Amino acid sequence: MDQIIDLDRYPLDRPGSPDWLALVDNARAEIAASGMANLPGFLRPAALAQALAEIVPVMDRLAFVHRRAHNVYFTDSVAGLSPDHPALAKVETINHTVCWDQIPTSVPAWVYDWPPLAVFLAAVLGKSALFPMRDALARMNVMKYGHGEALNWHFDRSEFTTTLLLQEPSGGGRNEYRANLRSAADPNHDGVAAALEGRDPEVKSFAMAAGTLNIFLGRDTLHRVTRCEGERARYIAVFSYYDRPAVCFTKEEQVGFYGRAA
């Protein structure tokens, strides 16, 4: 794994060591301050090149193109909101997806299934343990965003998301987010509307470099990736872990996300 992950910089293979504990503490501090932690240069350059060589041909032949108009909640309605409330404004997301079962021996699949990564993530997030999904489609995906395509404004269904950027786009593709916009006690629909309409000065933006591992608390943070521009597409691997073993999507969820069931 040392040829894939920069274990000199990120010693995930030495849990409990002083360097590992310092890395966990630093990531926790980043998450406390901004709702996310970034580990730039997590994947070595040669591994990035290998990952793209493995995935691009599969993406070109077998990707499921998911084009949908949605609101930030991914629901048709929200109790207590009128259908014309600006928090329910529709946006468009377009992405091309390949699933774990299509690239099971690729670099991102190796990283996802490497147990020390789940141990590290659990420590950062204060979990007793984290487990890969059993779902052959959903456990690890790679998504491509070409020219004019974007992951639009939304809240995540899960508490956290872990991603690994494999390729930056020629232009655009910036991450924008508004941290802690809502809570279980306060859905803050008017605040959501303000962010969507560009009236919230607390919306932040940043660009990730290829090879960066990102840990993001997205359930209460509104976020998006802006439209990509140019010939070089954005490729990103999405890793799904849960605090209980053997999680699978329903057949209906699989069809909705991937166009097929396992």
Residue 75 CA to residue 45 CA, distance in Å, equals 40
CB 74 within 8 A of CB 90: no
Query: Would 172 be classed as within a structural domain?
Result: yes
**pLDDT tens per residue, range 6-27:** 999 999 999 999 999 999 999 9
Query: Would 137 be classed as within a structural domain?
Result: yes
Query: Would 166 be classed as within a structural domain?
Result: yes
Query: Would 84 be classed as within a structural domain?
Result: yes
CB 96 within 8 A of CB 63: yes
| Count of other CB atoms within 10 angstroms of residue 240 | 18
Long-range contacts formed by 183-190: CB under 8 A, 24+ apart: 183/220, 187/78, 189/78, 189/80, 189/81, 189/85, 189/87, 190/87
Query: Would 7 be classed as within a structural domain?
Result: no
Query: Would 150 be classed as within a structural domain?
Result: yes
Region 63-83: mean pLDDT is: 93
pLDDT of amino acid 157: 87
Give the count of domains, the chain. 1
Query: Would 45 be classed as within a structural domain?
Result: yes
- The packing angle between helices 115-125 and 18-34, to 10°, is 50
**pLDDT tens per residue, range 138-166:** 999 999 999 999 999 999 988 999 999 99
* CATH code for the domain in which residue 43 is found: 2.60.120.620
- The boundaries of the domain holding residue 150 are 18-258
Q: Read out DSSP for 236-252?
A: EEEE-EESSSS----HH
pTM recorded for the entire structure: 0.95
Residue 63 has pLDDT above 90, yes or no: yes
Residue 220 CA to residue 257 CA, distance in Å, equals 22
Give the SS3 label for residue 3.
coil
Query: Would 2 be classed as within a structural domain?
Result: no
Region 114-134: mean pLDDT is: 98
pLDDT of amino acid 31: 95
